[in-house]
Amino acid sequence: MAVNPLPPPQVAVHPAVRPLSYLLGTWKGQGEGSFPTISPFKYSEELQFSHSPNKKGEYDAEKRSVKLKSELVGNASKVKEITRVFEMVNGDLVYVVEMATDLTSLQTHLKAVLKKI
């Protein structure tokens, strides 16, 4: 007789994360990328937000905007700074990634619109 495993228990959302709980889940959509050193391109993206005890980033409750700044960029030795700003716009999750390199100042690199699935 096969035993069905129980689903993992739900972890309560920490009070500090509760204002961001609208982000929790999976988001999918399309984006566009460009940068002075590459040809423009389009891409598909799927993001999953979950919660953990680590605190990084900023949150603006009125704007429903989240700004994240990476401390480590893997395999991108020429990247000096990278930021990603998420905003809710008409129920969609919109983000912009800005990047600076040895050769360029901080500027838009990626833009995408994602829908919750």
Domain at 105, CATH number: 2.40.128.20
pLDDT value of position 21 = 83
Residue 70: inside a domain = yes
Residue 1 lies in a domain: no
Residues written for the chain: 117
> Does residue 7 lie within any of the structural domains?
no
CB atoms within 10 A of CB 72: 6
pLDDT for 12: 74
Residue keyed to tokens 């900023």: 58
Q: To 5 degrees, how large is the angle CA 43–CA 46–CA 49?
A: 145
- Residue 5 covered by a domain: no
The β-bridge partners of 99 are 82, 107
pLDDT, one tens digit for every residue, the chain (117 residues): 556 666 555 667 777 777 888 888 899 999 999 999 899 999 999 988 877 655 555 555 566 677 766 665 565 678 888 888 999 999 999 999 999 998 899 999 999 999 999
